[in-house]
Structure formats: C-alpha cells, structure tokens
Structure 1
Amino acid sequence: MPDIALLGLILAAIVIGYFLGWRDQRKRRGDDSGQLSKDYFVGLNYLINEQTDEAIDVFIKALDINNDTVDTYLALGSLFSKRGEVEKSIRVHQDLLARPSLTSIQSFQVQLALAQNYSSAGLLDRAESILIDLSRQNHDLRDQALKQLLRVYEQEREWDKAADVAERLRRTRGEYFAIILAHYYCEQCEIALKQNDRVTARRLIRQAFSRDKNSVRTSLLLGQMEFDEGSYKEAIKVLQRISVQDISFMPLSLPLLEKAFEHTGSLRGFGAYLGRCLNERPGTAVIISMTRLLVRESGESQAVNFLTAQLDRHPTLRGLNELIDLRRQFQGDLPDNVLALIHRLTDRMLELKPVFSCGHCGFSGKEMHWQCPRCHNWGAVKPIQGFEGE
C-alpha cells in the first residue's frame, strides 16, 4: 500500500478513535449534550485542508490515550520515520511520552520508537541515553533495547561497549551473538594492530576464537600477524584452516598463503593445497592461482591446457579473462590485436561486475565488508559464485 494511502488510513483511525473516545466518555458521564469538543473540529478542519502536522498536534493533545490508540499513534510515527520524516515521527512519540496515562509497557514501546528516531536522525547520544536506561530495567522489551543499543555502538564504532552489550545478549540469545562478538573483537584487534599493540591484538584474537572458533575473519587477522612476525609456517597453518571454517571465504586467504609458502621455499606445498581445494570445491580463485603457479613451475603450455580444461567444466568470466591473457603471452592462434580487443572487453565486463554479495539482503559491491552496509548483518557478505564470480 502506498505511504500516502496508509497515512490517510492511520489519520482516519485517529479521527474515529477520537470520536469513539468522546462518545464513551459522554455515556459514562450521562451527558446528552451531543456536542463534540472544539478540538475535534479544529483537527478535522486541518485534516480536510491537508495540514497533517497541525491535525496530528490537535488530536494527540485532545485524545485520551488507551491500549487501542497508542498502537495507532505508534503506527503513525513509524510511517513518518519510514518516509524519512523523522522530525514528525519524533514529535508524535514525544507527545505520546508526555501523556501521564501511559502504562509502563506502553511507555517502554514509545521510548524504543523515540530512540530509533534519534538514531535515524544521527542524534546517537540521545538514543544511547534512552536505551541504556531501558536496558537497566526488568521488562519484556529489554532485549529489544539492548539490540538497538548495539546498533548505536556500531554506528559510533565503540566496539568495546558493543562487545559488553553483545555479551549480555549472548547469555540469553545464544549463538548468533557469539558470532557477532567475534567480529567486535576483530574490530578492536585491527585498532590495536594499527597502534602496534600486538600483545592486546593477540588477546583479542583469543577472545574472538573463544566466541566463534570458525571465525574466518579472525583466522585472516592471525595469519597476517604470523606472517608479519616471520612465522610463515604458523601463518600457513592458520590460513589453511579457512577452507574448513567456510570454504566460500577461502579466496581471501590465497594471496597471503602463496607468499607464506614462497618464504618457506615450498611452492609445491601451495600447489598440493590448491589441488585439495580443487577436488573439494573448484572455484575461479583456486583455478587462477593454480594456473599462475603452473606457469612458474611447469611452463605456459601446461598452464594453458590446465586452464582450458577447467573452464570447460567450470566456465567463469574471470577464468576466460585469464585464458585470453595467457594466450596473448603464449602467441595463440588469433592475431594479437584480436586477443587484445577481447581482453579489453572482458576486462571492461569485469570492472562493471560486483565481486561480493550479501546472502541476506542482496547488497553487492567490489569490496569485502564484514558487516553488510545495507542490512548490517555480520558475515553475510561473501564472494559471488557462478559464471560472473567464483
């Protein structure tokens, strides 16, 4: 339903609610005067003239708050928020909150909605203040307040505070927040590494693994740390675990893994690892890495034959681009200018294609995001599979 139509229905519900409330009060008082208050007609006039702001103000101030009308006003505030009219939504919720007749649970609901308004408006300090207060009280909406507070700390990039809140949620909500916690510790680890505080970084790595032993991000960080410190065999051990933790992330580990094997003087070991990965799950990154290794170890002819056979079984655009590049180097059958043209075309196609996508909301892009920029889920963005990806 379009927003305007929905807004009309909600405002109609408010008008009807006002009328029914007035009639109910009149019956209880035994009042037969049959006259609606002046506020009703003022609000109705504003509504007829499409002055929704003024109409809302009048009806909110005049209407008795009860279980039915609170939901209506919350729906109105939510609609304004979705339409990007955050100031109107804030006003609706602030006016509701000022009403002394709200029950405790209604007050919590309105405060949660108001905190969401403040977050949307970038007023994170105000949102944080409300949510901290709600999270300290014992009520059914406390977990919801904690989840909203978590999002505030993510926006502020206050990862230590986010971790404290996530630990509280983990105790009641379990595994999902344990996975998120590993990401928070990784965020703090990256900050520690930038400050060259490797002791703190390693402590945070241990904390991340204690919450999610299959955290690919933690393995990548630890692998990089071991490599930077010259512990190449340890780096290899850590990075090879990624194919077991989540093989779809394995392409992220290959460049560093190849360097680590190179430093140990054992490129054959890298080839053996790639061979195992090919048997388990052939992907473009593994195929291209193996092709380039074959060029170095066995020559271009064997590399071209290998890549051609792989593309016949698992055709991908990136693989085709690699084959064209090899054929140009290897003096293929087609004239070089034709191969160059085809290579430019496939390059251009690849430039326009995303490399990663979110399995939750469908967001796609060329950069790896551990937290999806659109839906904010952690670990949902992965390398794209299929002809245009892996």
Structure 2
Amino acid sequence: MDFDFSWLLFSLPLAFVLGWLASRFDLRQLKLENRQAPKAYFRGLNFLLNEQQDQAIDAFIEAVQNDPDTQELHFALGNLFRRRGEYQRAVRVHEHLLGRGDLSRADRERAQHALAQDFLRAGLLDRAEAALQKLEGTRYQNEARLALLAIYERSREWAQAADVAAKLDDAEQASYATRRAHHLCEQAAEQFGKGDAAAAEALLHQASATAPDAPRPAIDIANLQLRQGDARAAFETLLALSERAPLALPLYAATLQQAALGAQRSGEALSLLQRRYAASPSVDVLEAIIALGGNVPLPDGLVDDDAPPTPRDGYIAHLAHQPSLIAASRWLAGETFADEQYHPQVQRALDQATRPLMRYRCAACGFEAHQHFWHCPGCQAWDSYPPRRVEEL
C-alpha cells in the first residue's frame, strides 16, 4: 500500500499551529499567575505597614500558594508568625524551607537561624540549643554563640557556658574575662556544695587569674578560707582586694572584720575601714568598724567633752554625712529612753520601714533583693547590682 504524502503536508502546518496556540496559552497563564502573586505580595505589604497582621498573613499565604518557590515570601511569612506568637506555624514554615533541596547555602543558613529564633521565642530551649549548634561555622556563628551562652546561663549549665564564653573571647570582638570568672565561681560553689573544697578552691584561683580585677573571686576565696579556719589567709586576700577594688568594700566589710578578729589583726583592719569610710561613707563599712570596737569622728557640734565618744556614736556621725533611716534605726535600737514601754513599738515600725531600704537594686531592670546578686535573677545581667544598698544610691 502506498503512503499518501498529502496528509503529511497538511498535518505539519496543523501541528505547528496547535503547538503555537498551546505555548501562547501557557504564556498567558504564567503571566496571569505572575500578576496575581505580586498583587498578593504588595497587598500583604500594605497590610503590614498598616499594622494589620492578620490580613497580611492571609495575603502572604495567598502569594506563597501562587508562587511556592519564592523563598523571600516564606521568610516573610515565618517572621510574621513569630511576631504574632504563632511559633508552631513559624517552625513549620522554616522547616519546610530547610527540607527543600534547591535551597542555596546562604538561604539554608538563614532558615536555620530563623528556626532557632522560633524555638527561643517559644521557650523550647533544648530544641533551640540544637538548632543554634548547627550554625557553628556560618555567618550567624557569633550571634548563635551569644544565644547559647544565654541559654546555658539561664539553665545554670556553667561548664557549657564557660566553653562558649571562651570561644567568644577568642573571637576578640569583646572581652568575656569577667563573665568567665563568674562561671568558674558558680562551678566552685557547686563543687563546695558537693563537699569538694579542694576543687572549689582550684576553680576560684583560676577565676582570679582569669579576671584579676574582678572582686567576686577574691571575696569567694576569702569566704572559703574562713570556712576552712584560715582567717589569716582570708585577711590577706581581702587586704589585697581592697587595693584593687575599693568601691566594692561594702560587700566584704563584714567578712574582713571577721577575718581580722580571727587573725588578731583588728587594728590594721580598723585603720583600713576608717580610711575607706572617710572617702566613701557606707552603713556596711560603718557597722564593720563598730564591730571592731572603733568609731568615726563626730562633727564638731556634737562632740561632748564630758563623755568620750563610743562606737555607737558612729551612727550619729553617719547621719551628719547623709540622712539615713537605717543608721537612725540602728542608733535608736541601743538607746534607753524615759518611756521604754513605747520603745519596742517605735523600733518595730522603724525596722519595717528600713527593710526595703536595705535591699540591693539591679541597675539594668530594677529588680530588688535583700542579698547582693552577681547575676540578676530578673534580667540575667551580670554585675548589674551596685555594691551599695537602695538607701545609699
């Protein structure tokens, strides 16, 4: 049977025409989708600028559905979910991005960083830690290390915190020596709590070598030496500290006084405390002076030639330097009055009034506490508590 070539002549032009029509249809459909995606994107941007986050999320979801390959839309949508507190949806968006095989290295690192932020904001510290560790060696490395450091400090994992702080210190972008010393002091406190005083002492000396000017290691060393019955060594430790950190004296004045009594060096301690008190009056330093049996000079108008000054007159001398309800209450507690029946009630009222004034206040967040903290329980800041009480600030 012979093949009829006339059909071929007719079919080739027909196939060309049909192919051209199909391509035109695909182009029109693509242009329509591309027009719809930018409209949804710009509509979402407009909602975002008007602080209408719900409508912005809906618009971005529509844009992502029209153009699922656009990474920027996914990042915008994930950030919106995080800002709204919808952390599970933000995690799903960023995990979807990480699951894509066509994602560039830069976008993959960005998605990993965003995922870590989702976990941090959600309070999922274990998952945040794992996500942040994957950012080692990326452009987000230092930021990830800072976040890891905050996690370890918050969860009191001091050994891991010390390792991360050492890496940050090696990066030479800032000094973390004092912070590393705090980590070592915290580890020393844990070791002492377990009964290993030798390990605690070694850690404290390492902390002192790491940050020689920081007062905490020396104070903790002196306290440990006192507990071990070595008052002479404790006194020497604090005597050296008083030269390096005189402003922190109110924090260790009572320890210095105890060490001086145990080492039988009260006169030397008294001379030091009086000298420092004259330069910067403080109730804590004054009480250490009184405990050693010393006094501070009374103002000329209050000197009584018939009665020699007593240590308790130091409270009156302190009131001449600055008004202090704490000093007034301490003085009143030891006085004898004609109407002694009312004294306990008055004293109780004064003690109640002075209690808030004896607190320490964080300079970063304002959190107040009856004891001095090196690490604020409120805002997690280090060295944010001044060595003086609220009344003296």
- Range into which the TM-score falls when normalised by the shorter chain: 0.7 to 0.9
8 A contact 2:257–2:291 mirrored in 1: no
Quote the RMSD (CA, aligned, Å): 3.8
Relative to structure 1, the CA distance from residue 248 to residue 346 in structure 2 (aligned partners, 3 Å threshold; closer, same or farther) is farther
TM-score after normalising by structure 1: 0.76
- The one-letter code matched in structure 1 to 2:124 is L
* Conserved? CA contact 1:65–1:102, under 8 Å: no
Query: What SS does the corresponding residue of 1:302 show, helix, strand or coil?
Result: coil
1:111 corresponds in structure 2 to 112
Shift in CA distance, 121/256, structure 1 to aligned 2, threshold 3 Å: same
Shift of 1:295: 7.6
The residue identity in structure 1 corresponding to 2:218 is: S
Identity %: 24
> What residue in structure 2 maps to residue 133 of structure 1?
134
User: Deviation of residue 29 (structure 1)?
Assistant: 7.9
2:193 matched to 1:194? yes
Question: Using the alignment, how far apart are the partners of 2:95 and 2:358 within structure 1?
Answer: 43
Q: Secondary structure at the match of 2:258?
A: helix
Question: TM-score normalized by structure 2?
Answer: 0.75
**Deviation per residue, 1:206-261 (Å, 9 max, x gap):** 32122211222211211022212222111011123443443443222122222211
The structure showing larger relative contact order (alpha-carbon pairs under 8 Å, at least 6 residues apart) is 1
Per-residue CA shift, 1:313-371, capped at 9, x if unaligned? 122222122121122xxx24x63344433322221122334611222333322232221
**Alignment partner of 1:379: what SS?**
coil
TM-fit CA distance, 1:54: 7.1
Equivalent residues of 1:278, 1:286 under 8 A apart: yes
Report the 3-state secondary structure (helix = DSSP H, G, I; strand = E; otherwise coil) of the residue aligned with 2:361. strand
Are 2:315 and 1:307 aligned?
Answer: yes
Q: Name the structure 2 match of 1:9.
A: none
- In the alignment, what sits opposite 1:183? 182
List aligned pairs for 1:249-328, cutoff 5 A: 249-294=248-293, 302-327=310-335
**Residue 386 of structure 2 aligns to a residue in which SS?**
strand
Taking the aligned partners of 1:370 and 1:60, their CA distance within structure 2 comes to 49
Tell me the amino acid that sits aligned with residue 94 of structure 1: E
Structure 1 counterpart of 2:132, one-letter code? L
Q: Is the 8 A contact 2:145 2:168 kept in 1?
A: yes
Any unmatched runs of 5+ in structure 2?
1-25, 296-306
Larger radius of gyration: 2
Give the counterpart of 2:380 among 376, 382, 386.
376
What CA distance in whole angstroms lies between the structure 1 residues aligned with 2:189 and 2:325? 34
Q: Secondary structure at the match of 1:180?
A: helix
1:163 corresponds to which residue?
162
What amino acid does structure 2 have at the position aligned with 1:335? D
Please give the alpha-carbon distance, in whole angstroms, between the structure 1 residues aligned to 2:30 and 2:115.
Answer: 38
The 5 Å alignment of 1:1-390 reads 31=31, 36=36, 60=64, 62-63=66-67, 69=73, 72-73=76-77, 75-81=79-85, 85-98=86-99, 102-135=103-136, 137=137, 139-173=138-172, 176-294=175-293, 302-327=310-335, 331-332=336-337, 335-353=339-357, 355-385=359-389, 388-389=391-392
Asked if the contact 1:242–1:253 (Cα under 8 Å) also holds between the matched residues in 2, the reply is no
The 1:345–1:100 alpha-carbon spacing in structure 2 relative to 1, beyond 3 Å, is farther
SS at match of 2:364: coil
- Secondary structure of the residue aligned to 1:239 is helix
The question of whether the paired residues in 1 share the 8 Å contact of 2:218 and 2:241 is answered with yes
Tell me the matched-pair count. Answer: 351
Structure 1 unaligned spans of 5+: 1-25
AA matched with 1:322: R
The code of the aligned residue for 2:365 comes to: C
